[in-house]
């Protein structure tokens, strides 16, 4: 079990869990992992960004590594720039969809993919054993002012149609996409209505972005837009809204893209990768089209691993992490939004016409606990989950897991009937609360 790395990097409350000492040691460990590395680094908009970034950079520079500071930039953009600049590592200072008080450290390898388990274990070993690399041949740091435009051009080149005539709402979550997303859609000819583009960092993800879909729904209807998109703080997630305010989550985006790619003979192996949260209705609809769904563990890292295993080009999560391997090795919310809009233009269909599968009712409950691993290991809880699972075996399914980024137990139930779905979820939630109180 990793001590520092969760499903998406190292994450915690800045100056509490994520300290300058820990951040510096993570940066320095990169110079032990590879001597004198070239590292590109960027952040989202959080107020703690400069403190954490400076600490990581100090560790790299002290170990003789060289740093290129990209400023505020989305996580997928930093993945792209890592490969473009032939850097050894890309570092992102971001806590993604988490509240403003959180921050995190994500690390990409030289191929722009999240670090593998062996590399993460190596870094943790350096931290735990106080291994350091303090060189007298210090590294250097330079600012980069053109990476934003390079990333925008990369995204624009990923589609072969303009977006003229389309009205698009963008909710940038007061995060890293505040500049890149509006510029891109305007560059391609769309009429853009942009919200939550504040970049002070105090209100990143606060009542906006991909976790607060009601705002996007309202604004898409208000402007009578063709489509709306909401990103999270670092824009590796996206959800959409149609003209009537109906939310289009990650499952639906994958479904629409998969069907289109399949229809034009570009869906490699006729397979896509989802997760254990992926809706059963989507799986059944894909099967009818001749497309197989492969389920991975929750987390875009696990999705990417399954995609590599089966040589798939498309995969993602219900939460809006969408990976398009023919363009990028990691999830990119803006890229996924652009590809979805391109399908709308090419098919001349509305998002509602394309999103035509029956959605099985799902209920998701998150329970804050003091020790998520102890709670999940509880024998009573496990026996109850087995019992309930057997009871609904022919009616639906359930999933109870530890959050990879927060001190929470996440509960998901899915049945063909909404009432049963809620009843089962609430029943499990009460058991989790009871167990947590005794831990």
Average pLDDT, the chain: 95
Q: What is the pLDDT of residues 344-390, one digit of tens each?
A: 999 999 998 999 999 999 999 999 998 999 999 999 999 999 999 99
**Is 392 exposed, middle or buried (CB count within 10 Å of its CB: 0-12, 13-18, 19+)?**
middle
Catalytic residue among 23, 58, 79, 96: 96
- Closest Cα to residue 25, out of 4, 1, 47? 4
Confidence of residue 395 (pLDDT cuts 50, 70, 90): confident
Q: Is 57 helix (H, G, I), strand (E, B) or coil?
A: helix
CB 389 within 8 A of CB 412: no
Answer yes or no: 173 catalytic.
no
Q: What is the pLDDT of residues 230-250, one digit of tens each?
A: 999 999 999 999 999 999 999
Query: Residue 300 above 90 pLDDT?
Result: no
Residue 1 has a pLDDT of: 52
User: What are the residue ranges of helices labelled H in 367-414?
Assistant: 372-377, 379-391
Domains parsed from the chain with CATH numbers: 5-146 (3.40.120.10), 154-247 (3.40.120.10), 249-332+348-354 (3.40.120.10), 362-438 (3.30.310.50)
Based on DSSP, count helices (H) and strands (E) in the chain, helices before strands: 15, 19
Q: What is the pLDDT of residues 44-98, one digit of tens each?
A: 999 999 999 999 999 999 999 999 999 999 999 999 999 999 999 999 999 999 9
CB 319 within 8 A of CB 250: yes
**Is 438 exposed, middle or buried (CB count within 10 Å of its CB: 0-12, 13-18, 19+)?**
exposed
Q: What is the pLDDT of residues 84-135, one digit of tens each?
A: 999 999 999 999 999 999 999 999 999 999 999 999 999 999 999 999 999 8
Distances (CA, A) of 368 to 126, 226, 363, 375, 385: 31, 38, 17, 11, 19
Cβ neighbours around 340 below 10 Å, total: 23
DSSP 361: P
Q: Is 362 helix (H, G, I), strand (E, B) or coil?
A: strand
CB 251 within 8 A of CB 278: yes
Instruction: Confirm whether pTM is higher than 0.75.
Output: yes
């Amino acid at each position: 079990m990793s001590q520092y790395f969760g499903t998406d990097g190292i994450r915690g409350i800045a100056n509490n869990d994520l300290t300058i000492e820990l951040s510096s040691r993570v940066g320095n460990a990169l110079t032990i992992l590879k001597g004198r590395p070239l590292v590109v680094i960027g952040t989202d908009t959080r107020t703690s960004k400069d403190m954490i970034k400076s600490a990581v950079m100090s560790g790299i520079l002290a170990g003789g590594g060289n740093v290129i500071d990209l400023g505020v930039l989305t996580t997928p953009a930093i993945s792209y720039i890592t490969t473009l600049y032939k850097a050894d590592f890309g570092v992102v200072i971001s806590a993604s969809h988490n509240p403003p008080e959180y921050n995190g450290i994500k690390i990409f390898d030289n191929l722009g993919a999240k670090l593998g388990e062996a590399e993460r274990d190596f870094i943790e070993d350096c931290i735990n054993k106080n291994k350091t690399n303090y060189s007298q041949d210090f590294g250097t740091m330079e600012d980069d002012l053109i990476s934003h435009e390079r990333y925008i051009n990369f995204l624009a080149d990923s589609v072969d149609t303009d977006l003229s005539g389309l009205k698009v709402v963008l909710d940038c979550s007061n995060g890293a996409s505040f500049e890149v997303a509006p510029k891109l859609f305007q560059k391609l000819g769309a009429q853009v209505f942009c919200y939550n583009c504040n970049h002070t960092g105090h209100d990143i993800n606060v009542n906006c972005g991909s976790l607060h879909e009601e705002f996007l729904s309202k604004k898409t209807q208000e402007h009578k837009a063709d489509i709306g998109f909401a990103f999270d703080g670092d824009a590796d997630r996206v959800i959409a809204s149609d003209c009537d305010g109906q939310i289009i989550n990650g499952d639906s985006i994958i479904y629409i893209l998969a069907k289109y790619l399949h229809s034009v003979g570009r869906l490699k192996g006729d397979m896509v990768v989802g997760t254990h949260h992926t809706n059963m209705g989507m799986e059944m609809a894909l099967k009818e089209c001749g497309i197989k769904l492969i389920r991975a563990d929750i987390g875009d890292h696990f999705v990417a691993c399954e995609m590599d295993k089966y040589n798939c080009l498309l995969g993602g999560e219900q939460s809006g992490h969408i990976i398009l391997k023919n363009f990028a090795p990691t999830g990119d919310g803006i890229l996924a939004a652009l590809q979805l809009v391109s399908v709308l233009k090419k098919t001349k269909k509305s998002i509602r016409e394309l999103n035509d599968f029956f959605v099985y009712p799902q209920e998701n409950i998150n329970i804050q606990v003091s020790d998520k691993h102890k709670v999940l290991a509880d024998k009573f809880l496990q026996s109850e989950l087995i019992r309930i699972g057997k009871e609904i075996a022919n009616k639906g399914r359930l999933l109870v897991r530890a959050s990879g980024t927060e001190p929470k137990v996440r509960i998901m139930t899915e049945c063909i009937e909404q009432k049963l779905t809620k009843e089962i979820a609430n029943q499990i939630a009460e058991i989790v609360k009871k167990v947590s109180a005794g831990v």
